[in-house]
Amino acid sequence: MAFMKRSPWILHYDASSCNGCDIEVLACLTPLYDVERFGIINTGNPKHADVLLITGGINAQNREVVENIYEQIPEPKVVIAVGACAATGGIFRECYNIIGGIDKVIPVDVYIPGCAARPEQIIDGVVAALSILEEKRAKMNGAAQETEQAGEST
């Protein structure tokens, strides 16, 4: 992994997973995998977060919660769907209360496969998401500069 410029903060939300992926996300923070050495910090506050990491599929009740959390995260932001359920609904896709994957409600940037997703895969996914985050940031900065220049020329 290349040198990382920033310290990304992650917000984790359990949509309707079986807990398996959530536990693996938490396992990433603990001594064996220890993502904190990359400066990645797990936060509970959406306004502090850069990355939204969601496990499990969307159901009727948590749909609004997920939308709400997504809205609260400041731009630029990336969304990671962890596990088969977050991607498509997985083994539960045919249940009456499951609407489907996370992308039915909010845009997803990275999908991490697996049932349950392994900590190594989750770390890989987060690293992939960080480069997307950098791109989004560059684009935002570029757009801001352009409007500034446009403002000066008139």
Phi, psi (5° rounding) for residue 111? -110, 130
- Of residues 51-90, which lie at the interface with another protein (CB under 8 A)? 56-57, 59-62, 65, 69, 88-89
Question: Which of 91, 138, 140, 144: binder of another protein (CB under 8 A)?
Answer: 91
Residue number, 42 or 136, with CB nearest to another protein: 42
Binding residue for another protein (CB under 8 A) from 8, 10, 15, 54?
A: 15
For residues 31 and 67, the answer to whether their CB atoms sit within 8 Å is no
Distance CA 108, CA 91 (A): 20
Q: Does the footprint of another protein cover residue 95 (CB under 8 A)?
A: yes
The answer to whether 89 touches 57, Cβ cutoff 8 Å, is yes
**Are residues 13 and 79 in contact, defined by beta-carbon separation less than 8 angstroms?**
no
Assign 21 to helix, strand or coil.
helix
The interface with another protein within residues 97-136 (CB under 8 A) comprises: 97-100, 115-116, 118
Name the residues that contact another protein, by CB under 8 A. Answer: 13-24, 26-27, 30-32, 43-45, 56-57, 59-62, 65, 69, 88-89, 91-100, 115-116, 118
